[in-house]
Amino acid sequence: MPVRAANIDEIERNDSMSVKDTPHYYHRVLERIRPRSEPPFEEENMQRRVWGRPWGVHNDVGRLRSVLLHRPGEELRVMTEDKYDPDIEALIDEDAQWYFRSDRAPDLDQMQREHDGMARVLEENGVEVHYADGSPENPNAMFTRDAGIAVRGGAVICRLGPVGREFGTGRRGEEFFIARKLTDLGMPILRTIHGTGLLEGGSFCFLTEEYAAVGTSYRQNAAGVDQLRSVLEHQGVQLVEVPLTGHSLHIDGAIVMIDRDAALVNVTRLPYWFLDTLEELGIRVVHVDPRDPPTAINCLALAPGKLLMNDAAQRTADQLDQMGYECIQIPYGECHRHGGSIHCSTMPLVRDP
């Protein structure tokens, strides 16, 4: 029966029609059940209520509570000695897009011992250790840092650059295993880099809780950076783009935060103006010892001023010890030959503010 009443009061006086049968009813109910945008998604109690616990990180040095690793495994068997190239003194496969800095195949047993030792130190320092699976087509899967970035309240799933010729092997596909593991753990995924965006987690760092940096190179493009920025803007975090030198891949070869107001820096990989930015933010620059291997900078803050470092970075560690920092050194030499070190091998999931 068509509704002819001019207003809701007139309808209510009409004995032949119930209010709930009118289009007005829906709106009258919903005006009493209004959605609320506050508190925000990232608020601690709301995270506990919806996602089981507070997730993500606010900075790069707060006490580390949870981390994601991938134990090196059978995927490394593709790295065979017939791939040795004397020009670069490494095994390399340009089609599959991997390299290993040696004239021999990886010692998988040694790599696993080193990786297990790192996991043991993490657990001894109160860190939950989780493991992501991998694919035989992804020999770089142990570098979990690159496939995801933890921010406040959740994670951004990255999009890795190397795809391999004819879309075989390379690193593309690692994102799936990281996303699946985070979903299994209950960690919110705030964004997945898509379209033609490229972004890798090793090229992101928090400088303060309100300021972050992303290193741009041929592995991070404008489309990827813009998508990351859109997430951070909603969290009140400014993102600065730092062009890296030459064929540098990631910013964690140039800067790693080691304390609330201090960064370990390889000055040869950073533009001069970024050093001024650090000074403006009140961040003290500590120079890595140039006599140490390049991965000396590739350490991990377990807490403000407490660092997990490769034992090959002895001069840098001695310098930091003299400055009052606590350095826990572990053997990581065979894993290092794979092209990364401790920072690359760890994806923080939860840190204290």
Residue 74 phi, psi dihedral angles, 5° rounding: -65, -20
Looking at residue 64, its amino acid is L
Give me the residue label for tokens 């970024």: 274
Residue 189 phi, psi dihedral angles, 5° rounding: -105, 110
Encode the chain (353 residues) as per-residue pLDDT tens digits: 444 544 555 545 556 678 778 888 888 888 888 889 999 999 999 999 999 999 999 999 999 999 999 999 999 999 999 999 999 999 999 888 888 999 999 999 999 999 999 999 999 999 999 999 988 888 999 999 999 999 999 999 999 987 766 555 678 889 999 999 999 999 999 999 999 999 999 999 999 999 999 999 989 999 999 999 999 999 999 999 999 988 888 999 999 999 999 999 999 999 999 999 999 999 999 999 999 998 899 999 999 999 999 999 999 999 999 999 999 999 999 999 998 999 999 999 999 99
Q: How far is CA 76 from CA 114, 164, 187, 242, 330, in A?
A: 15, 16, 29, 32, 22
- Decide if 302 contacts 64 (C-beta within 8 A): yes
Domain ranges of the chain: 44-351
Residue 211 phi, psi dihedral angles, 5° rounding: -145, 130
Please list, in sequence order, all residues whose beta carbon lies within 8 angstroms of the beta carbon of residue 129, skipping any fewer than 6 positions away: 67, 69, 119, 122, 123
CA–CA dist 303, 308 (Å, integer): 10
CA–CA dist 258, 178 (Å, integer): 26
Tokens of 243: 């062009």
Tokens of 289: 């010892």
Q: HSE, CB side, 13 Å, CA atoms: give it for residue 138.
A: 25
Cα 283–288–291 angle (5° rounding)? 165
Select from 3.40.50.1370, 3.75.10.10, 3.40.50.2300, 3.30.70.600 the CATH code of 44-351. Answer: 3.75.10.10
- The predicted model scores a pTM of 0.91
CA–CA dist 228, 177 (Å, integer): 20
DSSP class of residue 199 equals B
Tokens of 64: 């580390």
Chain-centre distance for alpha carbon 149? 3
Burial of 291 (0-12, 13-18, 19+ CB in 10 A): exposed
DSSP lists the bridge partners of residue 280 as none
- Our CA dihedral for 159, 165, 170, 175, rounded to 10 degrees, sits at 30
